[in-house]
Structure 1
Amino acid sequence: MTDEYVFPVPKGSYELLFEAILIEPGEDDDPSNGLFPVRYELTFINAENPYPRILKADKELIPPQEFLMHAEPAI
Structure 2
Amino acid sequence: FQNIQIKNVFVKFAQRAINVDGLQENPLQKFSLENVAITAKTAGVIRHAKNWQLNNVKVTAQDGTKVVLEDTENINL
- Normalising by the smaller structure, the TM-score range is under 0.3
Instruction: Provide the TM-score with structure 1 as the length reference.
Output: 0.25
Largest Rg, 1 or 2: 1
